[in-house]
Structure 1
Amino acid sequence: MIKHIVMWKLKDEAEGKDRLANAREMKRRLDACAGIVPGMLAFEVTLAQPGLEATYDVVLYSEFEDKAALDAYAVHPTHKAVVPFIGAVREARQCMDYEV
């Protein structure tokens, strides 16, 4: 199994909206990617929550049966459609894939 974790820090303002509005929109768009490929075992998008420590604004936690499933997700049209928006609103990105 491959775990795929991505964290994004968003710009204070981008695409005519503030950080929180863009985080909510990003979550909405990413949530549409849940279950889009066979072999996707888990897919969770969450936003930083008031009162809890967070150095990033949006986190994606996902699990894939194998690297082939992760690769299929990466090139799926639904996922590819989210990428330009994320690129426009993000300030920084961290990612880690690992096998368990």
Structure 2
Amino acid sequence: MIRHIVTFTLAADSVEQRAEQAAFITRELLSLVGVIDDVESMQVVTDVNVTPGNAHVALIADYADHAALDRYQVHPDHVRVSGSIRPLLASRVAIDFEV
């Protein structure tokens, strides 16, 4: 199994705006569950302490293998969601590992 973790740092200046954007990102990403068969599990979390320097949102998702993750990455619905999220970001960092 491959675990895919992505952290997002939002570009918005205010805590309120970041909270709205984090909720939007959460809805968008979770909308992929049940649409893209290769997603075995998905969780989206936000930084509860609003700690300076921390990422604001994280995606934690599991896939059967590397091929399943590769299919997810190019799936049209994932590409659409990624495109809707990208303009909100200051940075994005990911790691994929075997569980």
Q: What range describes the TM-score normalised by the shorter chain of this pair?
A: 0.7 to 0.9
- RMSD between aligned residues: 2.2
8 Å contact kept, 1:46–1:59: yes
**Matched residue type, 1:56:** A
Secondary structure (helix, strand or coil) at the match of 2:4 reads: strand
Which secondary structure state, in structure 1, belongs to the residue aligned with residue 36 of structure 2?
Answer: coil
Q: Which has the higher strand share?
A: 1
Structure 2: state its 5+ residue gaps. Answer: none
- The C-alpha deviation readout for 1:48-98, integer Å capped at 9, x for no partner, is 214789811110001110111111111112111111222100001110001
- Over 4 Å off, 4+ runs: 51-54
State how far apart, in whole Å, the 2-side matches of 1:75 and 1:9 are. Answer: 23
Q: Is the 8 A contact 2:50 2:56 kept in 1?
A: no
Normalising by structure 1, what TM-score?
0.83
Partner of 1:3: 3
Report what 1:59 is aligned to.
Answer: 58
One-letter code aligned to 2:4: H
Check the 8 A contact 2:39/2:62 in 1, yes or no: yes
What percentage of aligned pairs have identical amino acids? 31
Indicate the larger mover: 63-72 or 29-38. Answer: 29-38
TM-score by length of 2: 0.84
Aligned residues: 97
Contact 2:47 2:56 in 1 (8 A): yes
Report the more deviating stretch, 26-35 or 51-60. 51-60
Seen in structure 2, the aligned counterparts of structure 1 residues 42 and 54 have a Cα distance that, compared at 3 Å, is farther
Q: 1:84 to 1:43 in 2, by over 3 A?
A: same
